[in-house]
A and B are shown apart, each in its own frame.
Chain A
Amino acid sequence: MRRKSGHWSPLLTGTPQIGRATNPFLNSNQFMVYRYDFENFGYTHKGKLMPFKRKDLLGIRDLEAHEIEHILDLAFSLKEINTRPIKKVPTLRGKTVVHLFYEPSTRTRTSFDVAAKRLSADTYSITASTSSMVKGETTLDTLKNLEAMKPDIFVIRHSASGTPHRLAQRTSASVINAGDGMHEHPSQALLDMMTIREHKGRIKGLTVLILGDIAHSRVARSNIWGLSRMGAKVVVCGPTTLIPMGIEQMGVVVSYRLEDVIAAADVIMVLRLQTERMQQMLLPSLREYAVCYGLNAQRLESAKRDVLVMHPGPINRGVEISPEVADGPRSVILDQVTNGVAVRMALLYLLGQRYEAGPEN
């Protein structure tokens, strides 16, 4: 699997292969070193080189632990680029990345766009309002038309679960799922895992509490798959009406009372509560939700001192999380955003390079 050196050497030039994550919560004698084997283009798992061979990145459920490890290692290595004065490497020069967004999302699209541009890819954004979908063209038509222009990677977000999966079967380009319905949001889960690993030094053995609207959350689903695969214990907590049937079968512990589970958590992931849940008769009022499940400073007193507070954004301040917690010392919400760029660079890098390696992969 040794690859020709050459086309990515600009990335290596002047780039230390060791990224160092600094973290105020860590003891000074602890610092983490992440090493990615650029030379062999892969992650060494149990002494064996495991190259990343996928065409698409559609969900966390499909990924093996060593693949997640692989992506996170690479993301830590690439993160350094984002701290340079000139935040750009020519790795994906000449590659075309198309953002195909059928659902409004400024954050995720911007994050993918920044990631792609820092790797020197050409990027194009097509959103539902500018696409021809409104003129009766189907999503598949749109994809086929765009494919005729020979893009290398599609980054697809769609409000209907499963759409990136079906589209990926119909295109030879790589597809990255940037969020599909209530199904998966793999890049979000990866950046969450990266943030946890950055601050805690590990994922294995931690207890992660996912709090709120589990039923409608693709972030929750992707994190459940990823965290459990990486050896964390996942607890989901929320009102009965927002915990979907049979979620235990995904390997989580379910609780309906935050006070029962908050003390055990090493990480609390707070989910966004959509206000339309009120109309769907799922909740009586935002007020009661905030009272029962909102994460505020007082509640946080019963949590571990070094608990991490996370939120995928955008935040409904005062509903699922209070401002003093969101902006408080335990919050790593902005680190999540920073790591989002690094994780998406890693994904684009892996899939972009796969393409270089030829269709047999």
Chain B
Amino acid sequence: MQNFLFRRGRVIDPARGIDQVADVLVVDGRLMDIQPDLKIGMDWLANVHQFDMDGKWIVPGMLDMHVHLREPGEEYKETIASGTRAAVAGGYAGVACMPNTKPVNDTAAVTQFILEKARQEAACHVFPVAAISRGLQGEHLTEFGELRESGAVAVTDDGRPVMNSLLMRRALEYARIFDLLVISHAEDLALAEGGLMNEGPISTLLGLRGIPNAAEDAMVARDILLAELTGGRLHIAHVSTAGSVRLVRDAKKRGVPVTAETAPHYFTLTDSELLSFDAVFKVNPPLRSAEDRESVREGLADGTIDVIATDHAPHSLLEKDTEFEYAASGMIGLESALPLVLELVRCGVLDASKAISKVTCNPSKILGVPMGTLNPGKAVTLTVIDPKVDYILDCKSFESKSRNCPFHGRQVQGRVELTLVEGKIAYSRS
């Protein structure tokens, strides 16, 4: 029975400017009506699951546009099945998966494999992002046309930057033919060489080689100039510095086709976490200074940063429980992101509607995928959030195969109650 009636929920659908308490009726998996005090006949009620929302939030199914699902190739860290189970548990009804798998998603065959696997096993939508260059080698463009045809929604060499400026120019130019988004992992490898954490007083104190902000800023500046030159659609992944925020803000003012995302760890944590030498805090780009964190929050508040994505990057103990220097970079994020987004609402950085837009309609629009709003008549994809509940994040209860969560043990507020994907219950907490 896929008939649901959600009573007195706070419906937040930023794409349609809705933020009000209302009843939501779903019949046969389709969204029938959103109205305050919806009247339904007694004969109907018997066939409907009723949920008393009591102020809980009902939002469009969330979309995470930056996820590493690790399949194919590193299934011991995560699979399409486990990663999407983690996604729906975190409130996400869709994820865009990065191409740095083994083999790299640089051909139609790999894109099709991911989509086929997803059709069979995924708990939510999976949108493959293909590589910009063959094998992520930064030398030859991949076949954007065929990749787009097979279902890729964007291209990126994420995990590493496109160091060759000419190749990046060509990628932005060529992507225009197929209206593909080009996602930039902005990092100057020469400036970042050997770096293990943010360069600053803490790296000096710890004797860990630093990565300067300029390693990110310089590449953000370059890619903005190339987007301006070519008219290609550019998206800056995981913005971590004050400089990047400033550059993107100025570029948007000039009308450059650029968008940007950041991740919960960049607006929540700083490099002082590294004082423990715990490799769970090792990530690329690195956790930055308190001033950078403040700038990232300002960027979120004024709309410079359009999207909150997790950069969910699962690693096993093998990669993480080792010397800090040798440990892999990356954190999981799918199952901890929502309460951290709600923290931004609680401390007044974002209002609820803006916060929800950064995990729903904004990423959907940027990727060009049909999600992000509650469309009456269509199969419903939504997330129910209890914004009030207090609890301690426990990564041992996560659906993800990996445990590299820097927020483990953190006192948080707000939790996902239910995730509906295309009319079906993909996750229910109870």
Contact = CB atoms under 8 A, between A and B. Distances in A.
Interface of A: 61, 138-140, 158-163, 165-166, 180-184, 215, 218, 221, 244-247, 249-250
Given A140-B322, A245-B199, A161 B277 contact: yes
Given A139-B323, A160-B326, 13 more contacts: A138-B321, A160-B323, A162-B323, A163-B324, A166-B277, A166-B278, A244-B204, A245-B200, A245-B204, A246-B200, A246-B204, A247-B201, A249-B205
Nearest to B190: A281
A181 B204 CA distance: 12
Q: How large is the interface on B (under 10, 10 to 19, 20 to 34, 35 or more residues)?
A: 20 to 34
A215 B209 CA distance: 9
B325 interface: yes
Contact of B210 (A162, A184, A245, A249): A245
Among B204, B278, B324, B325, chain A packs the most CB atoms within 10 A around the CB of: B204
Contacts of A249: 201, 204-205
Contact of A183 (B200, B201, B207, B321): B207
B207 A246 contact: no
B323 A158 contact: yes
Contacts of A160: 323-326
A247 B200 CA distance: 9
A229 B158 CA distance: 45
B383 interface: no
Contact of B206 (A138, A139, A183, A247): A183
Interface of B: 199-210, 277-278, 321-326
B206 A162 contact: yes
Contacts of B207: 161, 180-184, 218, 221
Find the residue from B200, B206, B321, B326 having the highest chain A CB count within 10 A: B206
Contacts of A245: 199-201, 203-204, 210
Contacts of A139: 322-323
A140 B279 CA distance: 14
Contacts of A161: 206-208, 277, 324-325
Contacts of B205: 61, 221, 246, 249-250
A163 B206 CA distance: 11
A215 B206 CA distance: 11
A166 B324 contact: yes
A260 B90 CA distance: 59
A203 B210 CA distance: 32
Contacts of B322: 138-140
Nearest to B318: A138
A59 to B, nearest CB: 10
A183 B205 CA distance: 7
Contacts of A244: 203-204, 210
Contacts of A180: 207
Nearest to A61: B205
Nearest to A221: B207
A180 B206 CA distance: 10
Contacts of B200: 245-246
B325 to A, nearest CB: 4
Nearest to B323: A160
Contacts of B209: 182
Q: What 7 A-B pairs come out closest when comparing CB atoms? A: A246-B201, A162-B277, A182-B207, A183-B207, A160-B325, A160-B323, A244-B204
